[in-house]
Amino acid sequence: MSAAEGATEEAGAEPALRLRGAALGYGDRTLWNGLDLDVRPGEFLAVLGPNGTGKTSLLRAALGLTRLSAGTVEVNAPVGYVPQQKTLQAGVPVRARDLVRFGVDGHRWGIGRPGRGRELRRRVDAALAEVGAAEYADIPVGMLSGGEQQRVRIAQALASDPGLLLCDEPLLSLDLRRQQEVTALVDARRRRRGTAVVFVTHEINPVLGVVDRVLYLAGGRFRVGPPDEVLTSPVLSELYGARIEVVRAGGRVIVAGAEAAAAEDAHHLDDTVEVAH
Amino acid sequence: MWHEIFNYADYGQLLALVRNSLVVGAALGLVGGLVGVFVMMRDLAFAVHGVSELSFAGGAAALLIGVGVAQGALVGSLVAALIIGLLGVRARERNSFIGVLMPFGLGLGVLFLALYSGRAANKFGLLTGQVVAVDNPQTAWLLGMAAVVLAALAILWRPLMFASVDPEAAEARGVPVKLLSPVFTLVLGLAVAMSVQVVGALLVLSLLVTPAAAAIRVTASPVRITLLSVVFALVSMVGGTLLAIGSSVPISPYVTTVSFLIYAVCRVVGWRRTRRGWARRPSAVPAQA
């Protein structure tokens, strides 16, 4: 099957991320292939699907850290990356503002020109303020809660002034309210600055109200399109190769059967899917 | 016994004699304080110990075959550092490997020393340090190594710190995280080889770990950690040397004691700071007692 029908294109702006005939596999196992995808400036794309279907690998391919097994990936904007959350230990000797500063100049060689301190501080403060983390700027990151650390990570990614923001499971281990807050931050940024967003998540419901399109990966297949077109019983049943029921209730999407289907399909993987509670 | 430990008669004359030691001690304090910051950030304290045992073995081998001890210590140190740097990405794997490597190095060193028939002070010095033994060529050699370490750190500083604290984000930003691991352990190897010749293999940790560990207890600002770590290492090293010169005891117990006392004070200060709410938000209501 082809997913190209879902990849709507608008004339004008160059896509921030473009994949053509992209395939990824390890050994004889293909995670996905024939993926054509354009993510336009200001677009919010959610990447959904069970574990082990190559969602993180898609981000790593865009970052140039993983090679595609076929096809091309093209990135036309500075990239900001929010890595999958790993709680920073209490002993990590940096403050929130230092972590954000790494996003500005951490990749440059040398110790930094002494005269740039003020300009640097202004950028770091602006990024912290944008995510509402100014208050704990000077607290060691290991002493922050999971939600606070996640905001700081987003500030770090935004501090490099990205045109493409790649987020890997930024909602993981956050409670519902924090999930909504983090989603709202990312949504506000892309609306204000035209940042393209690729948002990998298990949880569709917190982002359902803001996404333009979803890329759903399952069973070695995928589908791209607006949530209303992709998150349907026939489409997901086809992807999983099993009977999946998609129920909409109170503005939420509940996918039933995906967990079992994913477990059966990918019995050698260590985890299963949970798209919604 | 007391004035074997503390004896300050003819202090002025002694001071002139140990000028080289003080210069080397200051260089070593600077290097130890700076390298220690990354040792703490990368959780490499155990690696420091492992590398120093191999450095000891190298120095002992050089003593036995009659070539420069400094060069022997350097070779041993760099070999160990390179192996650890290339092998140990994951801490668990790295630590078990170091645990295997360390006694092997120590055993080799003991063997070489047992076979060596020269001055006993030379033997002891490699393990526990020496104070006046720094002659002019050795001083030049040690200062040269210090210059290499400082130059390397000046170049690597920002990406090394990024990669040490936040490797995933650093990698995504284009920092060569995997390459920096062996590169840093080589820098560490140089610092260890220097330290082994002055404070001895068994006490290297007091220079490369304790000052930075103390600094981290009292602040989380990388700039302040770095400054404090250097000051603590300098005070331990130079202060230890000044205390040691009147005595017949090796320099190392003075250095280790000063550096331990600094650490103890910093722990108390850090504990009080945490209790008073290091992590408190300005707008939050004061924590209840």
Tens-digit pLDDT profile for residues B92-106: 778 888 999 899 999
Q: Mean pLDDT across chain A, nearest whole number?
A: 86
pLDDT band, residue B227 (cuts 50/70/90):
very high
For residue A151, is it within any domain? yes
Q: Quote the percentage of chain B above a pLDDT of 70.
A: 94
Dihedral sign of CA atoms A70, A79, B173, B92 in order: negative
Residues of B in contact with A107 (CB under 8 A): 158-159, 162, 170, 173-175
Q: Which of B159, B166, B172 sits opposite A109 (nearest CB)?
A: B159
For residue A145, is it within any domain? yes
The verdict on a CB contact (< 8 Å) between A153 and B169 is yes
For residue A148, is it within any domain? yes
For strand A44-48 and strand A213-218, is the pairing parallel, antiparallel, or unpaired?
A: parallel
Per the CB < 8 A criterion, the answer to whether A21 and A3 are in contact is no
Alpha helices in chain A (DSSP H): 55-62, 96-105, 117-130, 146-159, 176-193, 227-230, 233-240, 258-265
DSSP A95: B
pLDDT band, residue A3 (cuts 50/70/90):
very low
pLDDT band, residue A203 (cuts 50/70/90):
confident
Q: CB contact, 8 Å: A184 with chain B?
A: no
Task: State both tokens at B66.
Answer: 């009659």
For residue A242, is it within any domain? no
Residues 6+ apart with CB under 8 A from B121: B130, B133
Rounded Cα–Cα distance for residues A93 and B270 (Å): 13
- A149-163, B59-73, B133-147, B201-215, range with the lowest pLDDT: B133-147
What pLDDT, on a 0 to 100 scale, did the predictor assign at position B272?
93
Task: State both tokens at A49.
Answer: 């699907």
Rounded Cα–Cα distance for residues A233 and A42 (Å): 29
Residues 6+ apart with CB under 8 A from B179: none
For residue A232, is it within any domain? no
Q: Quote the percentage of chain A above a pLDDT of 70.
A: 89
Cα radius of gyration rounded to whole Å, chain B: 20
Q: A27: distance to nearest CA of chain B, Å?
A: 23
Each residue's pLDDT tens digit, B58-74? 999 998 998 888 899 99
- A34-43, A123-132, B114-123, range with the lowest pLDDT: B114-123
Average pLDDT over every residue of B67-90 = 87
Residues of A in contact with B156 (CB under 8 A): 109
pLDDT band, residue A188 (cuts 50/70/90):
very high
Hey, which residues does A166 pair with through a beta bridge?
A81, A198
Query: pTM, whole model, 2 decimals?
Result: 0.89
Average pLDDT over every residue of A20-26 = 92
For residue A75, is it within any domain? no
What pLDDT, on a 0 to 100 scale, did the predictor assign at position A273?
43
Sketch the domain layout of chain B as residue ranges: 2-280
Dihedral sign of CA atoms A93, A98, A102, A106 in order: negative
Rounded Cα–Cα distance for residues B93 and A222 (Å): 38
Each residue's pLDDT tens digit, B251-289? 888 999 999 999 999 999 999 998 888 888 876 655 443
pLDDT band, residue B89 (cuts 50/70/90):
low
pLDDT band, residue B117 (cuts 50/70/90):
confident
Residues 6+ apart with CB under 8 A from B71: B62
Q: How far is CA A240 from the centre of its chain?
A: 22
Count of domains observed in chain A:
1
Q: CB contact, 8 Å: A84 with chain B?
A: yes
What pLDDT, on a 0 to 100 scale, did the predictor assign at position A271?
40
For residue A146, is it within any domain? yes
ipTM of the complex: 0.87
Each residue's pLDDT tens digit, A37-90? 999 999 999 999 988 899 999 999 999 999 999 999 999 999 999 998 776 766
* pLDDT top residue among B210 and A243: B210
For residue A138, is it within any domain? yes
Identify from A84, A99, A111 which residue to disrupt to test chain B contact, counting B C-beta atoms within 10 A and taking the largest count. Answer: A111
Residue A266 confidence (pLDDT) above 60 = no
What pLDDT, on a 0 to 100 scale, did the predictor assign at position B10?
76
What pLDDT, on a 0 to 100 scale, did the predictor assign at position B126?
81
pLDDT band, residue A275 (cuts 50/70/90):
very low
A49 burial type by CB count under 10 A (0-12 exposed, 13-18 middle, 19+ buried):
buried
Q: CB contact, 8 Å: B279 with chain A?
A: yes
Residue A24 confidence (pLDDT) above 60 = yes
Domain that holds residue A98: 89-107+115-161
- A185-189, B3-7, B11-15, B87-91, range with the lowest pLDDT: B87-91
Average pLDDT over every residue of A19-38 = 91
Counted across chains A and B, CB pairs separated by less than 8 A come out at 95
Dihedral sign of CA atoms A223, A226, A229, A233 in order: positive
Q: B217: distance to nearest CA of chain A, Å?
A: 9
* pLDDT top residue among A12 and B171: B171
Q: A262: distance to nearest CA of chain B, Å?
A: 28
Q: CB contact, 8 Å: A155 with chain B?
A: no
Tell me the CATH number for domain B2-280: 1.10.3470.10
* Helix (H), strand (E) at residue B156: helix B136-165
Q: A105: distance to nearest CA of chain B, Å?
A: 8
SS3 A41: coil
* pLDDT top residue among B90 and A265: B90
